[in-house]
């Protein structure tokens, strides 16, 4: 039943995006702006759910709050670490990082300590 719900949710999301792009002329920058607007809103909903934890547990909504928190955590992790992962594929970025980290050593000339 849950898989059917997820499939319907994905299909409705795709159809909604299609309607927004075709009929209303939504651009990709509009989509990113709306994502940036809804990120603090999701965080606020999670914090309110945590503050009302005892009431949420008694009403049976605590699992929903926990699932929303897990999804929010995954999405935020993707937003934070995906650019780092993409940049790590390029060899020049590693060279720039090494140059930034060891700039003083490169300027003075690398010396090795031998014991």
At residue 88, what are phi and psi to the nearest 5 degrees? -70, -15
Region 43-67: what's the mean pLDDT?
Answer: 88
Higher-confidence residue of 110 and 24: namely 24
Higher-confidence residue of 53 and 101: namely 53
Region 10-31: what's the mean pLDDT?
Answer: 92
The string of DSSP codes covering 67-89 is: HHHHHHHHHHHHHHHHHHHHHHT
pLDDT band (50, 70, 90) for residue 18: very high
**pTM for the whole thing?**
0.52
pLDDT of residue 99: 75
């Amino acid at each position: 039943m849950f898989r059917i719900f997820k499939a319907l949710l994905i299909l409705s999301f795709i159809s909604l995006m299609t309607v927004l792009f075709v009929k209303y002329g939504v651009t990709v920058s509009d989509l990113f702006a709306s994502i940036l607007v809804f990120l603090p809103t999701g965080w606020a909903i999670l914090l309110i759910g945590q503050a009302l934890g005892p009431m949420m547990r008694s009403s049976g909504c605590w699992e929903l709050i926990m699932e929303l928190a897990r999804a929010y955590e995954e999405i935020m992790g993707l937003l934070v670490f995906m650019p780092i992962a993409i940049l790590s594929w390029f060899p020049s970025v590693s060279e720039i990082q090494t140059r930034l980290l060891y700039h003083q050593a490169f300027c003075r000339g690398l010396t090795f300590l031998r014991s």
